[in-house]
Amino acid sequence: MTFHIDTCMPDTHAAAVREIFNDAILNTTALYEYQTWTHTDVLKWFGNKAKSGFPVIAAMDGAGLLLGFASYGQFRARPAYKYTVEHSVYVHRDHRRRGVGRALLKRLIELAREHQLHVLVGGIDVNNAESIALHEQLGFKHAGTITQSGYKFGRWLDLAFYQLTLSTPLQPRDG
């Protein structure tokens, strides 16, 4: 499959992002969420990412079809966490296991280095073996699991955290 990574644009990709998010909400434990997203929710999400200076990237085929998207955002609200971000990668159900998620995650890692970040954190449901394997293949290490932290589909869910520690920033500072 041929595809390229570029910036995900709300005016072009909002409907496809919504479709991917809603599929994850309704059919997977990739998102510990119950309510599907509206078009307004997606636009607000894009707006919050832009306002905070966080990237939203897209994997697109030659015709411009969105195959998947990825982003990172604030890990925690305290200033000392400024070099740590939590990321997410979502791939359309028809395009999984074709290298799309790997390409998106690799690009997020590059962007994190460019933005002088230090740690990327991924929260992954422990039953999502494909995502865990991908993260481990790209150097992420298991940092802990919060058992029974979510409840969806009539059962308790365990959330595993995986982190990648980068050599950046070159000159970290307090404040």
Per-residue model confidence as pLDDT tens digits over 35-45: 999 999 999 99
Average pLDDT, the chain: 96
pLDDT of 147 strictly over 90 = yes
Q: Is residue 93 part of a domain?
A: yes
In terms of residue numbers, what domain contains 67?
4-165
In a domain, residue 157? The reply is: yes
Model confidence pTM above 0.85: yes
The CATH number of the domain where 58 resides is what? 3.40.630.30
Whether residue 152 is contained in a domain is answered as yes
d(CA 27, CA 72): 22
Asked if 101 and 83 touch (Cβ cutoff 8 Å), the reply is: no
The reply to whether 174 falls in a domain is no
Query: Any idea what the Cα angle at residue 65 is, between residues 61 and 69, rounded to 5°?
Result: 85
* pLDDT of 160: 98
pLDDT band at 175 (very low <50, low <70, confident <90, very high): confident
d(CA 59, CA 22): 18
Residue 170 lies in a domain: no
| Residue 144 placed within a domain | yes
Residue found by looking up tokens 């390409």 in the block? 103
Give the number of domains in the chain: 1
Q: Any idea which residue has 């939203």 for tokens?
A: 56
Element (H, E) at 69: strand 66-74
Distance CA 143, CA 140 (A): 9
- Answer yes or no: is pLDDT of 1 > 80: no
| pLDDT of 82 strictly over 80 | yes
Determine, yes or no, domain membership for 172: no
